[in-house]
């Protein structure tokens, strides 16, 4: 009886042990878990894995494929697998190695997130709102556009294929949602660099930086965690219209710290200050008289600015552009960006000014004139302009002479030169004087002939008839005629006789008579009326008997008033 009791007790223990093993086996085969198994067989399409106890499972061979023709596993290898379903009709469990690998990666990512670790990832494509990043085990994560860099990046496509370090800022394993940030790491790195930079930053020192951003007024340079402004006026000694002419984002530059305010952390930088001021050698490089080449940079009403080298510009004043032409505006001769040759006239390095000349490249017409002509020489030219005090005559290209109205005629008092001459008239004259200091030439037309007054009364006494006097000019108050070369007279309008239907014209020949000779005012007055009937016994009697004829309307009125008084 005791033996029977003992046997019953052993059987109970055996059943209990078997029950525990069955429960343990069922726990191992719980769906949705990862278990460790041993490869027991490899078929053409599957891998058979023993996951403990009597349970075996099958996995598609493709989940083990290496793509190199090498057997992925062999019997006896240990693998971690994911239990997808319990035993089927064949007593096999459905397993997955890929799912087990992914779940392990998620666990690793989760652990890394908890430990605040940095993970590597490769940007694979652009998605709505940001970028898709592939991290460990091929897991996809989302990188928002605002977390890509410290500053917004317009073209996110250029980042595709790039590998960076990221920090996980949001993680949800159940939803399979991972959000990354690269900006957080960059900010931390920037703060560290900034602290290091501020420890050594001082005014006057030269530092290396990278162009970070470009505006119309300058460029921002990253000095290492802190930005400095490189203003457009401090980029070059030369003229800069826009910073993009010199830089592009990402360029490395060597700049000088001009100003630094530790409180506001504002830094002003200069690039040209790292180079020598070109004006330091301007006087040696550009002595007066030297011919130089340059580019026209700008044009104003008063001249053109020419760049001789970066940082050195000279001015060609409008008065120094041509010897012969009156330049109304420099744009008539020059244009911006034109390469030209000119001559240095004056250098003032302290004031940073250089005077340039364009006309100096050609011979000075005045020098050529003074070599060829001297006082007393006879010249010929055209009337260039008329004023109320004289006539300007072109002698040579770039050189004019002036005939004062008192030097126009021996025998006619010319109050307005335009009464006798017109623009572009051909004239001859004598050079009376040359003023080298003011570059002025005085001319005389009447000096072409000897002074006729010593013999005037003998040659042209009152009553002398001129059969063919030549009409020189017709004015409101009369007609100027030439009796011979060097002797002109005025026929007052009241003494002019014209044929019916025929008007007098310049160069016409007329018959007239000397009516008055005024030796004091040197005037010769003529008449076309009653020719031959005004003859006097002698010149003196004629001069006394017949009042002098006026040469102007005012004088004619005075004369008539005088005649009335005599009659009274």
pLDDT tens digits, residue range 140-164? 888 888 888 877 777 888 888 888 8
- What was the pLDDT predicted at 65? 64
Within a domain: residue 317? yes
Please check whether residues 347 and 266 belong to one and the same domain: no
Spatial CA neighbour of 297 closest among 343, 270, 330 = 330
Q: N- to C-terminal Cα distance for the chain?
A: 200
Does the pLDDT at position 215 exceed 50? yes
Within a domain: residue 19? no
Does the pLDDT at position 195 exceed 60? yes
Please check whether residues 531 and 458 belong to one and the same domain: yes
Maximum CA extent, the chain: 206
**Among 448, 464, 480, which residue terminates a domain?**
448
Is pTM beyond 0.85? Reply is no
Does the pLDDT at position 25 exceed 70? no
Within a domain: residue 31? no
Does the pLDDT at position 490 exceed 90? yes
Does the pLDDT at position 305 exceed 50? yes
The CA-atom distances, in angstroms, between 100 and each of 29, 79, 135, 451 are 14, 10, 17, 131
**Among 186, 214, 234, which residue terminates a domain?**
186
Please check whether residues 50 and 145 belong to one and the same domain: no
- What was the pLDDT predicted at 415? 87
In the predicted model, what is the mean pLDDT of residues 23-27?
Answer: 47
Within a domain: residue 21? no
Question: Partners of 344 in the beta sheet?
Answer: 356
Local structure of 488: helix, strand or coil: strand
Q: Please report, for the domain that includes residue 555, its CATH number.
A: 2.40.50.140
Neighbours of 190 (CB within 10 A): 17
In the predicted model, what is the mean pLDDT of residues 429-455?
Answer: 91
- What was the pLDDT predicted at 183? 87
In the predicted model, what is the mean pLDDT of residues 208-234?
Answer: 89
Within a domain: residue 72? yes
**β-strand pairing of 291-299 with 218-222:** unpaired
- What was the pLDDT predicted at 565? 46
- What was the pLDDT predicted at 29? 53
Within a domain: residue 28? no
Spatial CA neighbour of 181 closest among 114, 112, 115, 119 = 119
Within a domain: residue 335? yes
What is the extent of the structural domain holding 535? 453-567
Q: Which of 70-79, 347-356, 532-541, 543-552 has the highest mean pLDDT?
A: 347-356
- Using alpha carbons only, how large is the chain's radius of gyration in Å? 56
Q: Determine the Cα–Cα distance for residues 484 and 524; give it in Å rounded to an integer.
A: 13
Within a domain: residue 194? no
Spatial CA neighbour of 240 closest among 252, 250, 232, 230 = 232
Question: Partners of 296 in the beta sheet?
Answer: 306
Please check whether residues 556 and 468 belong to one and the same domain: yes
In the predicted model, what is the mean pLDDT of residues 339-356?
Answer: 92
- What was the pLDDT predicted at 241? 84
The CA-atom distances, in angstroms, between 13 and each of 6, 16, 17, 300 are 11, 5, 6, 114
Local structure of 190: helix, strand or coil: helix
Please check whether residues 539 and 457 belong to one and the same domain: yes
Question: Partners of 292 in the beta sheet?
Answer: 342
Q: Determine the Cα–Cα distance for residues 286 and 292; give it in Å rounded to an integer.
A: 8
Please check whether residues 63 and 90 belong to one and the same domain: yes
Local structure of 276: helix, strand or coil: coil
Q: Determine the Cα–Cα distance for residues 496 and 510; give it in Å rounded to an integer.
A: 10
Strand runs labelled E in 69-216: 78-85, 92-96, 118-127, 130-134, 140-144, 163-172, 177-181, 206-214
CB 386 within 8 A of CB 445: no
Does the pLDDT at position 137 exceed 80? no
For 234-272, the three-class secondary structure string (H helix, E strand, C coil) is HCCCCCCCCHHHCCCCCCEEEEEEEEEECCCCEEEEECH
- What was the pLDDT predicted at 563? 47
Neighbours of 247 (CB within 10 A): 18
Q: Determine the Cα–Cα distance for residues 260 and 263; give it in Å rounded to an integer.
A: 9
Number of domains making up the chain: 6
Please check whether residues 266 and 230 belong to one and the same domain: yes
Residue with tokens 């009697």: 541
Q: Which of 38-47, 352-361, 407-416, 504-513 has the lowest mean pLDDT?
A: 38-47
What is the residue-averaged pLDDT of the chain? Answer: 82
Please check whether residues 259 and 342 belong to one and the same domain: no
Q: Which of 387-396, 427-436, 540-549 has the lowest mean pLDDT?
A: 540-549
Helix, strand, coil fractions of the chain, as percent rounded to 5: 25, 40, 35
Does the pLDDT at position 11 exceed 60? no
The DSSP secondary-structure symbol of 331 reads: G
In the predicted model, what is the mean pLDDT of residues 113-135?
Answer: 84
pLDDT > 70 in the chain, percent: 85
- What was the pLDDT predicted at 14? 59
Please check whether residues 309 and 379 belong to one and the same domain: no
**Among 448, 466, 481, which residue terminates a domain?**
448
Which class for 504: exposed (0-12), middle (13-18), buried (19 or more C-beta within 10 A)? middle
Q: Determine the Cα–Cα distance for residues 430 and 188; give it in Å rounded to an integer.
A: 93
- What was the pLDDT predicted at 545? 35
Please check whether residues 259 and 316 belong to one and the same domain: no
Question: Which residues contact residue 167 at a Cβ distance below 8 angstroms, ignoring those fewer than 6 apart?
Answer: 116, 118, 119, 180, 181, 182, 184, 185
Q: Determine the Cα–Cα distance for residues 446 and 429; give it in Å rounded to an integer.
A: 8
- What was the pLDDT predicted at 547? 43
Does the pLDDT at position 107 exceed 80? no
Residue with tokens 């670790």: 117
Neighbours of 518 (CB within 10 A): 16
Spatial CA neighbour of 489 closest among 565, 441, 420 = 420
Res. 28 pLDDT band, cuts 50 70 90: very low
- What was the pLDDT predicted at 89? 62
Spatial CA neighbour of 306 closest among 335, 327, 273 = 335
Please check whether residues 239 and 262 belong to one and the same domain: yes
Please check whether residues 386 and 487 belong to one and the same domain: no
Q: Which of 19-28, 277-286, 381-390, 485-494 has the lowest mean pLDDT?
A: 19-28
Q: Which two tokens stand for residue 111?
A: 């652990």
């Amino acid at each position: 009886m005791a033996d029977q009791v003992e046997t019953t007790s052993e059987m109970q223990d055996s059943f209990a042990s078997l029950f525990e093993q069955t429960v343990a086996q069922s726990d191992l085969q719980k769906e949705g878990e990862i278990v460790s198994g041993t490869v027991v067989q490899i078929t053409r399409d599957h891998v058979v894995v023993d996951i403990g106890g009597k349970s075996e499972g099958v996995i598609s061979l493709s989940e083990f494929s290496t793509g190199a023709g090498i057997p992925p596993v062999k019997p006896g290898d240990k693998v971690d697998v994911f239990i997808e379903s319990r035993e089927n009709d064949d007593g096999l469990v459905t397993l997955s190695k890929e799912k087990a690998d992914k779940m392990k990666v998620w666990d690793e990512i989760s652990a890394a997130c908890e430990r605040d670790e940095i993970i590597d990832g490769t940007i694979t494509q652009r998605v709505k709102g940001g970028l898709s990043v592939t991290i460990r085990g091929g897991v996809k994560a989302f990188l928002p556009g605002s977390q890509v860099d410290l500053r917004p990046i317009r073209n996110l496509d250029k980042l595709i294929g790039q590998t960076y370090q990221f920090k996980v800022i949001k993680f949800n394993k159940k939803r399979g949602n991972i959000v990354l940030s690269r900006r957080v790491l960059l900010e931390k790195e920037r703060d560290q660099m900034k602290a290091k930079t501020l420890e050594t930053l001082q005014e006057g020192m030269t530092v290396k930086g990278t162009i970070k951003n470009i505006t119309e007024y300058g460029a921002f340079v990253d000095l290492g965690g802190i930005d400095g402004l490189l203003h457009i006026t401090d980029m070059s000694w030369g003229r800069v219209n826009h910073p993009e002419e010199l830089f592009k984002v990402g360029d490395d530059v060597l700049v000088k710290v001009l100003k630094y305010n530790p409180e506001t952390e504002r830094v002003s930088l200069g690039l040209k200050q790292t180079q020598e001021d070109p004006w330091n050698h301007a006087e040696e490089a550009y002595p007066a008289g030297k011919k130089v080449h340059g580019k026209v940079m700008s044009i104003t009403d008063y001249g053109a600015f020419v760049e001789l080298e970066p940082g050195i510009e000279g001015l060609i004043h409008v008065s120094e552009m041509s010897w012969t032409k009156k330049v109304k505006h420099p744009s008539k001769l020059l244009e911006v960006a034109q390469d030209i040759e000119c001559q240095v006239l004056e250098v003032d390095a302290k004031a940073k000014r250089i005077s340039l000349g364009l006309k100096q490249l050609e011979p000075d017409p005045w020098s050529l004139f003074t070599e060829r002509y001297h006082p007393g020489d006879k010249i010929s030219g055209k009337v260039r302009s008329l004023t109320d005090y004289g006539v300007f005559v072109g002698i040579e290209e770039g050189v004019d002479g002036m005939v004062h109205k008192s030097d126009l005629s021996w025998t006619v008092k010319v109050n307005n030169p335009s009464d006798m001459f017109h623009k572009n008239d051909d004239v001859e004259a004598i050079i009376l004087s040359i003023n080298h200091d003011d570059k002025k030439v005085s001319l005389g037309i009447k000096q072409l002939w000897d002074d006729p007054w010593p013999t005037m009364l003998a040659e042209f006494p009152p009553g002398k008839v001129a059969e063919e006097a030549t009409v020189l000019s017709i004015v409101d108050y009369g007609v100027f005629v030439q009796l011979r070369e060097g002797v002109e007279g005025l026929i007052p309008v009241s003494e002019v006789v014209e044929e019916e239907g025929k008007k007098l014209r310049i160069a016409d020949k007329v018959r007239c008579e000397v009516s008055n000779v005024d030796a004091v005012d040197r005037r010769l007055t003529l008449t076309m009326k009653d020719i031959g009937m005004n003859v006097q016994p002698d010149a003196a009697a004629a001069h006394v008997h017949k009042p002098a004829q006026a040469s102007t309307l005012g004088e004619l009125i005075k004369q008539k008033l005088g005649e009335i008084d005599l009659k009274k």
